[in-house]
Amino acid sequence: MYKLLLCTTYLRTRYLAFVCIVSVMLGVCTLIVVNSVMSGFSNKLKDRLHGILADVLIETERADGFDETPAEMEAVIRASKAGPHVEAVSPTVEVFALLQFHVMDRSGKRVPITKHVRLIGVDPAKHSKVGRFKEYLVRQHADPAPSFDLTPEAKQRFERNRQFSEWDQPPKPNKVAQAPGPRSVELFKEPIIPAGLEIPVAIPPPVLPQGPPPPLPGAILGYSIAHYRYKDPETGESKEVEILRPGDDILLATVGADGASVKYKTFAVTDYFKSEMSEYDGGFVYVSLDELQQMRGMDGRVNCLQLKLKGDVANDNQYVHETLIPEVQGKFDPTSARVASWQQHQGPLLAAIDIERGILNLLLFMIVGVAGFSVLAIFTMIVSEKFRDIGVLKSLGASDRGILSIFVTYGFLLGLVGCILGTGAGLLITEYINEIEAFLARITGQQIFDRSVYYFDKIPTNVDPMSILFINAGAVLTCVLFSVLPALRAARLHPVRALRFE
Amino acid sequence: MLVAKNLTKHYRRHADVVKVLQGLTLTVESGEFLSIVGASGSGKSTLLHLMGTLDAPDSGQILLDGRRIDNMRGKQRDLLRNKTFGFIFQFYHLLPELSTLDNVLMPAFIQQSVWGWWQTRREWRRRAEELLTRVGLGHRMKHKPRELSGGEMQRAAVARALLNRPRVLFADEPTGNLDVDTGADIVRLLRDLNEDSGVTIVMVTHNLEIAALTDRVVRMAGGRVVEECFSEV
């Protein structure tokens, strides 16, 4: 009973110990906030990566694609042991391409802009079932059946662009249909045609009504390709300029299925793709699978098959990597068809995120380590102050172990109070981190979270209860460990020497 | 009852050896109020500490009712200090963060577990309050030690020492830090307790007037008992 009484009494009355509490609180708070923010970023990144890619991808690097048709490949997969776990399949063609479009410079002159992009041919309905393709479309995310069709407004814009481009062209000479005159044949001296018979004049070609040309096939551009973000030098705000709108035409050039010839075609922008991943939003262009196959001369073949797995299996990483993927790989020639999960596809990036987070946690835990040293220093002082009290307690029958447990429990309570306060502060800061960021930006005039760098409108956070538990357990354990040494010193004090201590 | 046989004790500081007790033998009878006097450095407090098991002799024995207590360790020794012995020190040694009542209750806090205290707390509080009233501090129970005078703090220390109804009370210069009148009050209090409850008291003092109030006075010199006399009180 005396141990509990003295611990709680010291906790209430030893103001110096508040230094320990504050140290622990700061360490725990910092760890929670940083972990939550990094976890938020990491989860959002993984979420985006997974949303863009299906669960399993079968790819080939052959320019002409797989030997088998998509339907044949799907039939093989569904007939295998992996078949029951496959929810949806989307065949795609993915190639490197050059994108060219025109923009108006300040003098009003049209200048070409060329970018290298990843050109992906998809069936929108099938592709929406294997990932979040539909959700990332800016205009069609709510449509039940997204497509590459132009909206009426886009068609109008396309038509207007076409007219403007015609007005820009130099005038062409009018070609008047010349009716052919009577033919003279000088092959034979004697006329073949008897005299007096008139050769009729050739019928001129019919003049067809002048209508608009057929609409161009549609293309969905990565958001960053069609938009340009910059910081206003006067206001410092991030601003966005639209450089390609639905209805504008673009030229896409890529390598044909033979691997040698260059194929190009003009498309019209129909929509934007916004995944908030700058790598994809700045480099992906989606077109209709049929159009790309035709353009490249692929005869209905594809070079990528994306599989979505059923919910319970998709979350079982071990099963997917150790059983399902080898099963599917076994059905295809590994030299031409590579089967990989989305994690394996993005392996280096995901590994980098996890390593960075681990190192950051280790470094930040040093803050808690510093708190531990403050516990050691302050407890050493407290034990020195309490020498006589310890002597009295021993003379009244307190055991060495009891004296030890007073100070170890005191360290535990300090750590516990620091953790509770730190966790509360950390969760509060995490909850209102965007408001705090805005406030600090206002005060300092500096953008802490530059939205022109990240495509997130808000700082993403994710509070993981297990992380909080580990942080708190680590902090309390640190305090207890650092209190052991002074506690041992107190326990080993000779009662007579302690009573005589000046 | 309490017998110290041929005790020796020395302290060493680097190469210097200070022989404090050199073959001291002393018997304390049950219910006796004994005072030990002597010059500074004669080993009075050392003897008290040895008899109270706060320190261990280099050689010799200390017997309580024929049982050796000088070589006790751990739980046995702690139990002896808590239940059989009581201590009063020159500088009171009250815990500054606790109230007077809680200071007096400290031996019970040490003896009881949390659950045991919860079950017996009313009885212990009643006993502590009675003791404080007995020593004239019934109106000062909630006060902290810094709010008490020297005499009041020493009275509180006396009450604390008596909480567990000890068989032997060791008082090390209990009046050393008090004025003459207050000191006399304290000794009278101890006298009354000795007569009323029969507790054996061993008191160390350098004040012969105070010592004269006890049953027997033992004088120490050179680490030994050199003289003893019985008081006429």
The interface predicted TM-score (ipTM) is: 0.91
- Could you give the CA distance from residue A463 to residue A295 in angstroms, rounded to a whole number? 48
Residue B171 is assigned to a structural domain of this protein: yes
Q: What is the pLDDT of residues A278-299, one digit of tens each?
A: 788 889 999 999 999 999 988 8
Q: Judging by beta carbons within 10 Å of its beta carbon (0-12, 13-18, 19+), is residue B220 exposed, middle or buried?
A: buried
- The residue type found at A496 is V
Residue B205 has which token pair?
Answer: 């003092």
Confidence of residue A417 (pLDDT cuts 50, 70, 90): very high
Confidence band, pLDDT 50/70/90 cuts, at residue A172 = low
Region A203-209: mean pLDDT is 54
Sequence letter at residue A88: A
What is the pLDDT, as a whole number, of residue A184? 45
Residue identified by tokens 């906030």 is A33
**Searching chain A, which residue's CA lies closest to the CA of residue B121?**
A1
Rounded Cα distance, B172 and B150, in Å: 15
With CB atoms and an 8 Å threshold, state whether A495 touches B54.
yes
Residue A397 has phi, psi (to 5 degrees) of: 110, 10
Please give the interface size between A and B, counted as residue pairs whose CB atoms are below 8 Å apart. Answer: 71
For residue A188, pLDDT beyond 60: no
Residue B69, Ramachandran bin (φ over 0: left; ψ between -120 and 50: alpha; else beta): alpha
Nearest-10 Cα torsion for B174, B179, B181, B186 = -20
Arithmetic mean of pLDDT over chain B: 87
User: Per residue in B64-93, is it b (16+ CB within 10 Å) or e — as a string?
Assistant: beeeebbebeeeebbebbbebbbbbbbbbb
Contact status, residue A50 vs residue A335, Cβ threshold 8 Å:
no
Nearest to A397 among B93, B102, B110 (CB): B110
What pLDDT shows up at residue A109? 80
Mean pLDDT of chain A: 83
User: pLDDT band at residue A92, thresholds of 50, 70 and 90?
Assistant: very high
Cα B213 → chain centroid? 17
Q: The tokens 């109230």 sit on which residue?
A: B99
Give the distance, in angstroms, between the CA of residue A46 and the centroid of all CA atoms in the same chain: 6
Find the domain containing B162 and state its range. Answer: 31-56+71-230
DSSP B127-189: HHHHHHHHTT-TT-TTS-GGGS-HHHHHHHHHHHHHTT--SEEEEESTTTTS-HHHHHHHHHH
Phi, psi of A270 (to 5 degrees): -115, -30
Q: Do B111 and A397 touch (CB under 8 A)?
A: yes
For residues B6 and B32, is the Cβ–Cβ distance under 8 A?
no
Report the residue of chain B nearest A4, measured CA to CA: B114
Q: Does A78 touch chain B (CB under 8 A)?
A: no
pLDDT per residue as tens digits for the range A333-364: 888 889 998 888 877 777 787 788 788 888 88
What percentage of chain B has pLDDT greater than the value 90?
A: 26
In the block, tokens 């707390």 appear at: B121
Tell me the two tokens of residue A263.
């194929």
Find, among B96, B105, B109, B145, the residue nearest to A10 by Cα.
Answer: B96
Residue among A389, A397, A494 minimizing CB distance to B95: A389
Q: Is the pLDDT of residue A403 over 80?
A: yes
How many domains would you assign to chain B? 1
Q: Which residues of B touch A17 (CB under 8 A)?
A: none
**Residues whose CB falls within 8 Å of the CB of residue A493, separated by 6 or more in sequence, listed in order:** A387, A390, A391, A394, A403
Q: Residue A124 corresponds to which tokens in the numbers above?
A: 């929108």
Distance, in angstroms, between A459 CA and closest chain B CA? Answer: 48
Query: How confident is the model at residue A367, as a pLDDT?
Result: 80
Closest to A344 (Cα-Cα) out of A141, A77, A49, A42: A49
Tell me, what CATH number does B124's domain have?
3.40.50.300
The β-bridge partners of A263 are A254
- The tokens of B101 are what? 């009542």
Does residue A97 have a pLDDT over 90?
yes
The DSSP H or E segment spanning A101 is strand A86-104
- Yes or no, beta carbons of A399 and B95 under 8 Å apart: no
- Give Cα B171 to chain centroid, integer Å: 3
List beta partners, residue B10.
Answer: B19
pLDDT of residue A132: 87
Question: Minimum mean pLDDT among A51-65, A125-139, A195-209, B164-178: which range?
Answer: A195-209
**B219 domain residue, yes or no:** yes
Given this model, what pLDDT does residue A502 score? 52
Q: Which residues contact A31 (CB under 8 A, 6 or more apart)?
A: A361, A364, A365, A367, A368, A426, A471
